[in-house]
Structure formats: C-alpha cells, structure tokens
Chain A
Amino acid sequence: GQNIDQPTEMTATEGAIVQINCTYQTSGFNGLFWYQQHAGEAPTFLSYNVLDGLEEKGRFSSFLSRSKGYSYLLLKELQMKDSASYLCAVRDAQGTPLVFGKGTRLSVIA
C-alpha cells in the first residue's frame, strides 16, 4: 500500500523558520512534490525532489532522503501570507498520478 504521513497542524511566529516533515512508504519512487494550498484555493506547486539532498528556492527549501523515506519543507523568514496548508505528494512510478498526504495546516502568528 501507499502511505504518506505529515503533521496535521503547526504554528510558527512571523520571521521564524519552520520545518514540515513528511514520511512515506510507497511501492516505488519517482519523485516527491510539495504544494501550497491557501484556504478555498487550488494547490500550487512549490518544489520537486527526486535525488537525495536539499533543493533551495528562495525562502523555501525541500530535503529528501530516499533511504529513510523522508522529506521536509523548510520555510524561512516566515510571513503572514505563508499561512496555508502544505501538501506532500509522491509519485511511485513515472507517469502515474501523485499520491498525496493529508496536508499540514500552518498558522503564522505575529
């Protein structure tokens, strides 16, 4: 079976750093994706990892360890607009649909 786990909710302070973890067990692996979803809106693509290591994109970074079935999304210099749900998704084979975790709702407080 496929299983993707991430925390349900997190709270962090404006200007701080937050790390959102994701663990996965899938039959294969062909990439891990992070999406951001504001309330009432569609998910938007943030990052993609297929090899081990850290991918940095501005204030957002994503890390992958395939041997541990583990990824995290790191958000730096948090802003109020970063309050959203963050979805971890895995593709287990090329061309197949993404399997999504249930999402982590992040609240950024002043």
Chain B
Amino acid sequence: DVKVTQSSRYLVKRTGEKVFLECVQDMDHENMFWYRQDPGLGLRLIYFSYDVKMKEKGDIPEGYSVSREKKERFSLILESASTNQTSMYLCASSPGGPETQYFGPGTRLLVL
C-alpha cells in the first residue's frame, strides 16, 4: 500500500510566522506535489517536484517555497504566514508514467 504522511493534521499559527509543512512518502515515487483546497475553488497546485532538489511552480506559488533534499520528503514553507493562507494543504506523490497521484491525509492550517 502506498503511504503518504503529513506532519500535522491541524495547525494554528500567527500572522508573520514561518510555517513548515512536511510530507513523506514510502514508495520511492519520483514525483511529489503540494496543493491547497478551499471551498468553491477546488484543488489548486502550489509546487511540484520531479526529482530531488528539483522544483517547479504550480498555479499559485506566491507566498510559498518548497524543499526536496531527499526523494521521500517534500516540504512546503510559508515564509511569512498570512490569514489568506488559511486552508487545507494536501501533499501527493506519484511514480513516473501514467499512474495516479496518491494523497496524504491533509493539514488544516489556520492562520490568526
């Protein structure tokens, strides 16, 4: 079974704080993704990575950065959290090729 884990299910932070969201997958997948999901807007891609130390911007990268130092771990960083970054954050991974993406359980982040 594919397993994608995220460091926290729920997180509360203050405006201006630096926030780290961690994602780990145990299936040796090349590709990893970060999405945010908001009511009425669906899943929107923030960043993705095809390989270690590689990153690509998605549709809404502003205010975020990522790090992929090891193949199994993909971190999302909010450099200075703002209230409009309150959201559900979902990490996903996939092997190369046509296979589907597998999602982690999500982190619900509240920025006060």
Contact = CB atoms under 8 A, between A and B. Distances in A.
A102 interface: yes
A95 B97 contact: yes
Contact of B106 (A31, A41, A45, A102): A41
Contact of A41 (B41, B48, B102, B105): B105
A43 B103 contact: yes
A97 B94 CA distance: 9
Contacts of B42: 87, 100-103
B23 to A, nearest CB: 12
A42 B98 contact: no
A48 interface: yes
A46 to B, nearest CB: 9
Contacts of A94: 97-98
A98 B50 contact: no
Interface in B8-41: 31, 33, 35, 40-41
Contacts of B33: 97
Interface residues of chain A: helix, strand, loop or mixed (majority): loop
A11 interface: no
A44 interface: yes
Contact of A97 (B40, B48, B97, B102): B48
A96 B42 CA distance: 18
A99 B35 CA distance: 11
- Residue from A40, A42, A100 with most neighbouring chain B CB atoms (10 Å): A42
Contacts of A106: none
B100 interface: yes
12 contacts: A30-B98, A31-B98, A40-B108, A41-B105, A42-B90, A44-B103, A94-B98, A97-B31, A97-B101, A100-B35, A100-B43, A103-B42
Interface of B: 31, 33, 35, 40-43, 45, 48, 50, 58, 90, 96-98, 100-106, 108
